[in-house]
Structure 1
């Protein structure tokens, strides 16, 4: 394993930084492969109880919205036995490659805290001594936000998207036989994307620290951000206010948290300057 080399001033050269980055990627890749191997051994459970669960009408999200719709006499599109489409594999290696890449995706999710730790070790030399003490808090907070985002994407956005896309019809002539990789791609992309979106407060923290984003900028574009959030919520949810609010509320909280964090960083910078 490479050891960092420092010059007489105690600073690493550009090539040394590249070497550290290379080993960061190597160690992170090994962690993902190990997590993928673990996930591969439980592939039956992952596919039957996780991947294909949102296709069944008894999925917890569908039952939740069905109960709300029944209670308040709203749209009952979630009250169903199963989504109206079949899943098929149209290539010889389709099921094997899907199993393999799904395991790697699961490995990435499992290894995410370790990847964060490696990232923290890489950037820690550029931080103040006081900031380096927050390593554990950084890992826990960032991992928690990522896992919450993955759960949000899987339990809320994914079933809403599948219900919308699976029931969408341009004509009664067209029958929906969904390709396996297309179905898996929706679930993986949604879960990972939401996990990364939930990292918005952490991203804003670092952008505010280097001066690329300010609280004033986020406040000025708040109305546009809210419009985008409402449009996304309107597309993936049934036409009722309750469902749209359930999707909108967590995203609005994330945006407001980002504004608060950016404002806090700005105050700290002003205090240090004074």
Structure 2
């Protein structure tokens, strides 16, 4: 094998790696730009995220920082994560630009709505956690605090706690997309998924038990939306499968019409 032939075979791989590097750099630049804009408001952002807990702290109680650098590092970490969440449309756009050339036309037609819905559902899961789950959860924790114990939460531990819940609810709200993909790719059909509904409900509560604190309220608040979103994924998946069946039947009828010989003139 000559050097020129080997170079021609290696060029596509090198080109793909170069494109991948460029797209990763664009994602990093987008995150850093958003972080640079938000960093000035890091303290305000943390105060906003901590508001659901601070609303239920006893009168005169405050959050505390047990680490020496926690007053700086904790808002810094939160701002960086928020920048990553806000840059997610750019990240997904770069991922889409990298994989789109290898997709068929009908796959591109489905992939774009899936990407957009994935972003919106992830944000919806985070909003649901912040506005619905956090007030109920922290109200419950404050109500069961033993007498004589001051509820004063460390800011670093609180951040790790809420980020875990943000991620858990964001991923849980992706269930319609996952269900739709299972049906669309052909890994499972609507009928089999409907028969598996009891196991799905149990699985939702198990996931809620693992990903949320050990109280029935937060577990239920994660499990019920997961189940409802699974049903939504089944609904959209059944609509697409019915349309695909109709298109196949139409193409089959058209092919049969073409196969029939023309009628003889009388």
- Compute the TM-score of the two structures, normalised by the length of structure 2: 0.71
Q: Residue 68 of structure 2 aligns to a residue in which SS?
A: coil
Given that 1:88 and 1:180 are in contact with CA atoms closer than 8 Å, whether structure 2 keeps it comes out as yes
What displacement does 1:147 show?
1.7
Q: 1:32 to 1:229 in 2, by over 3 A?
A: same
> Going by fraction, where is helix more abundant, 1 or 2?
2
Q: Residue 178 of structure 1 aligns to a residue in which SS?
A: coil
Residues 1:211 and 2:209 aligned together: no
1:222 aligned residue? 197
* CA deviation map 1:171-205 (0-9, x unaligned): 65655442211111222221232122212222333
2:72 aligned residue? 96
1:247, 1:201 → 2: CA distance?
15
Residue in structure 1 matching 2:94, options 113, 118, 121:
118
**What 5-or-longer segments of structure 1 have no aligned partner?**
1-6, 58-79, 239-243
1:53 aligned residue? 51
1:208, 1:19 → 2: CA distance?
34
Q: Residue 81 of structure 2 aligns to a residue in which SS?
A: helix
* CA deviation map 1:130-186 (0-9, x unaligned): 4435676445433222221110111122233333344445x6565544221111122
What displacement does 1:88 show?
1.4
Given that 1:87 and 1:183 are in contact with CA atoms closer than 8 Å, whether structure 2 keeps it comes out as no
2:38 aligned residue? 39
Q: Residue 72 of structure 2 aligns to a residue in which SS?
A: helix
Given that 1:88 and 1:178 are in contact with CA atoms closer than 8 Å, whether structure 2 keeps it comes out as yes
What displacement does 1:107 show?
0.4
What displacement does 1:18 show?
4.4
**What 5-or-longer segments of structure 2 have no aligned partner?**
1-7, 253-266
Q: 1:137 to 1:53 in 2, by over 3 A?
A: same
Instruction: Tell me the matched-pair count.
Output: 236
Given that 2:63 and 2:154 are in contact with CA atoms closer than 8 Å, whether structure 1 keeps it comes out as yes
Q: CA RMSD in A?
A: 3.6
1:121, 1:83 → 2: CA distance?
53
Q: Which moved more, 1:32-41 or 1:138-147?
A: 138-147
Given that 2:19 and 2:98 are in contact with CA atoms closer than 8 Å, whether structure 1 keeps it comes out as yes
Residues 1:108 and 2:84 aligned together: yes
1:87, 1:141 → 2: CA distance?
37
